[in-house]
Chain A
Amino acid sequence: MKRSWRGTSVVTGLAVASFSLLAPQIDAHEKGVLKLRTRQLVPGDSVEATGQRFSRRATVTIVLVGIAGRTRLDQVRTDSLGAFRRALVVPADLSPGSYRVVVVAADGDEVASVDVSVVARASAPMSSHVHEENAPTARPLALARARSPLVTGGALAIIALTFVGGVMLLRRSPTVESTPNAGGKR
């Protein structure tokens, strides 16, 4: 009985010790990386933000921290790789100055940040949202499409076969009388 009690105490002690060692790791957030297209923000514009190496499939809030307090910019959900991409709108009434864009996890922990400066529109070197070469465009991407002689040949064969088959069926179809429409009467 005494030996059994001692054994139970040892096992319990080891379990508590292991748990207390593991617990901080279970609670810990993965520190992510936040990148902004530009560090100079213009009030009213938007800036593309990308995040990587955050907790997977987690909801994080992006806030702008300045001397006057915090402004919530957006809430995003990370994908299965712990990444996200979002265009953040800079509040139009923001005063010029130094700020920090912070990613906040669901429990309030700050998991990434970037220092930025907010400048008045006239002094901005260019639109803060995107550089000229990265501006959104209606032009399709010039992608090198995957090609295979087998697929192209197969597609051409399908086209030829269905076309010939269609014409043959139509030629063997009965001719149709073309009486005037009865105007919906049965």
Chain B
Amino acid sequence: MINPWVRERFALTALEYPIPARSNRLDFMLGALTLVALTLLGVTGIVLTQFYDPTPLGAHESVRYLITSLPLVTFVRDVHVWSATGAIVLVFTHLAAVFWRRGFRRPREGLWWSGVLLLALLLGLALTGTLLKGDQEAVEALAHAMAGAQVAGPLGAPFQPNFTPSSPLLTRMYGLHVAVLPIVLVTLLSLHLWLVRHLGVSAGGDARTPFRTHLRPLGGLALLFVAVLAALALAAPAPLLAPGVEGFEVTKPFWPFLWLYAAENLFGLPGMLLAPAVLFGFLALVPVADRRDTRLAAVTRWTGVLLFVLIVVAIIYAAVAPGQAHLNMKM
């Protein structure tokens, strides 16, 4: 199908390496679809940086300006926000699928750990992205981030306003969002993809199908995914609240953090900090704890299932429960 001249010059024969036939199933394409969402986030994010003012007083106004004055840029922003949702849904589903088929077992422990770090980075990007709007939700998220950082001691110092008085915290969060975290993400992603290429996916069976055949269904799903995201962006644009007022908590966080909100409702600030520690601690230990044909393997699997269900239940609970103020803020 591809011209031999092009195939030779661009080394496309490298795409002929064999993979198991089952790799063409949807549950083996979730990682690649996450990559599509991340690419969309990168491209739309670059556009948004041209219009965003990362100063405490200019942030909200610049977002408001692009929503009310720039039709194309506001569509790009809506795609950016929906891509973030898509990426987080896909990465959680990818994680659950890999966990269920025990794709973390030898020799893929590094693949698993890099994936766990990528999940943490993605949540970091979602948090810093939320802060940038400068609206009430952003101010409340920033207050929670600062409270959490305070507990972390010296490690959390960069998240305190007085860490570098010459630069506002919001501007530093912007730096994290558009430079530091993306650079770390791309580095880890490169490692992750390199490991996928050389260790293969945990699909089982003989690797007989050329990887090239994988690209067609993957491309199809990617196009459908883009269509869905664009439709959502058009039908349900991302909202903007009024400029934030410090000291109040009247909103709920971006949905990927609702499980932390639920934990904070139940256990206060320690709950908000312990919940992610438990999740990421468990995920980090999974390849170590899971030993073939042992009772511990079954315990690990069902603990993971329990944690997954708990997170889903906590998100639903936090979404429907009445709003609650934390950190001595007012409602």
Contact = CB atoms under 8 A, between A and B. Distances in A.
Interface string A91-112: 0000000000000000000000
A170 B74 contact: no
B220 A143 contact: no
Interface residues of B, number: 67
A87 B223 contact: no
B284 interface: no
A84 B56 contact: yes
Interface in A168-186: 168-174, 176-179, 181-186
Contact of A155 (B75, B168, B247): B75
Given A136-B136, A146-B69, A184 B101 contact: yes
A138 B248 CA distance: 11
A178 B200 CA distance: 18
Most chain B CB within 10 A, of A145, A168, A186, is at A186
Interface residues of A, number: 58
Interface in B241-268: 241-248, 250-252
A85 B59 CA distance: 12
A75 B162 CA distance: 10
Interface stretch (A18-26, A114-122, A156-164): A156-164
A27 B68 CA distance: 41
A89 interface: yes
B103 A184 contact: yes
8 contacts: A77-B168, A136-B248, A138-B136, A138-B137, A159-B230, A163-B227, A173-B24, A182-B205
Interface of B: 21-22, 24-25, 55-58, 64, 66-72, 74-75, 101-105, 108, 136-137, 165-166, 168, 200, 202-205, 209, 213, 216-217, 219-227, 230-231, 233-234, 237, 239-248, 250-252, 323, 330
Interface of A: 46, 48, 59, 75, 77, 79-81, 83-87, 89, 129-130, 136-141, 143-148, 150-152, 155-156, 158-160, 162-163, 165-174, 176-179, 181-186
Given A146-B71, A176-B21, 14 more contacts: A81-B57, A85-B57, A87-B245, A138-B137, A150-B71, A151-B75, A152-B71, A158-B230, A159-B231, A160-B227, A172-B216, A173-B213, A177-B22, A184-B101
